[in-house]
Structure 1
Amino acid sequence: MSSQASQALMPEVGDLVVATVTRVEDYGAYVKLDEYSGIEGLVHISEISTTWVRNIREHARQGQKLVLKVLRVSSQRNQIDLSLRRVTGREKSEKMLEWKKERKAEAILKSAADKLKKTEEDAEDIRKILLDKFGGLYSPLEEALDEGPEVLVKGGLSSEWAQAIAEVTKTKIRLERSKVRGTVSVTCHKPGGVEIIKQALMSAKKIRKPRGSEVKIYSIGSPKYRIEVEAPSFEAAEKTLSLAVEEVLGTIKKAGGEGRKLG
């Protein structure tokens, strides 16, 4: 379920939700949906576990956070039936991580509002803009951390808010970075070949690359060289590495040398 969906009155069938157990009975556990203003739902004992449940309290306890799947929604009766047993381990991990990130983003917005001496209503307006333009709160903060507050301005925020949010984000979020490597063989037997090879390798650092990306070149024994790329995401790192390798091989061949990718 996206953060935009969380703004709806009720979740949809099939959504994954984070909920807090409020009461446990012999027939099931009552929960409040954290992302839906505390709307109440029920996890029937038959939806607690894939195995026989001898004591429901061994699987759910008051105050516990659970990731649940929505089975049925009745807006007329304001009733939501949920399942614990139908949530896979991977779904649970991914949903909890998403939920924690969104909570961190909420805290960052509050800190930015305090920094600017803005009201809760002002912060709520900013929250709505981010949800509308980016589909969530955490992802635009990551983008601002990587590309600067201009990303938020383009999304509809004022420069004042964008700058404050970017400054607070720097102290609260550390970008996860990906690193990839590739190896090339480069030779040139023309006069000045050593310098030609050097220039070809250095051309990899001059390519256009995503902000926050870095290209490094290492010799691992002539004529082999390693190109290492570190970037904000695996996709960006892979793309940058591909462009860097192409640039090196193209440059050396234009200069009369030879080059090929080894891995």
Structure 2
Amino acid sequence: MRLTQNMSTISESATPDYPFNRTIKITVIGGSGVGKTALVVRFLTKRFIGDYERNAGNLYSREVQVDGEQVALQVQDTPGVEMTDNTVNLPDHVACSVQWADAVVLVYSVTDRPSFQLMEQLHRLVTRATATGAAAPPIIVLANKADLLHLRRVDPQQGPVLAETLGCSFYEVSASEDYDQVYGAFHRLCCQLAKQQPAAVPLPSQGPAAPPEKRRSPLIPRPKSPNMQDLKRRFKQALSAKVRNVTSV
């Protein structure tokens, strides 16, 4: 199965026979019922599935091409975050996924006002959850269910204003009706991350390369026969004896 669009190049492909230069890790966070899983599945498979079981935090892995380069993509879906007494707390496993990720997608539904009100607090918590000494990951705000105009509870202008205040990119999409919108939002984020990550380079060699060893002839010189040496020695002795006898005569 492949995902290809005319607008750019990002595709799901079979396992390549060479290693990846980059790995992109994305975590998706938002309130319950905003369509996080639907967005992830729509992006990765083009399919829209209306009903999902309660999200237990699935990790989706795909091998993709971003602008012609092979990339390993991992998307961590997370359970819905709830507000209690006007307070939002990230569960430990969600905070760990933030530290793991290269980027975070904050999702709300335009039909759910409380999910929109979560955005500012979630953005603050994501920034705080970043590992000590590390820069906060890129964050984008994604407004879902834009097709449900009759159920809208968040004005179209409020999302962009909030995202600008938070310093994030903003996209309003419909997971159910427009794959291109969903694809475009995730694709731009993948391209941004791919540009930020340096390509893997081979490990440096340990010292200068040794000169190639000269090839040795497979032929082994035959040693001189001890018997032949003995014969030569005896022949010289016999010859010397004859010379002495002649001289004495």
TM-score normalised per structure 2:
0.21
The structure with more radius of gyration:
2
TM-score normalised per structure 1:
0.20
Larger helix share, 1 or 2: 1
Asked which structure has the greater RCO (Cα within 8 Å, sep 6+), the reply is 2
Larger strand share, 1 or 2: 1
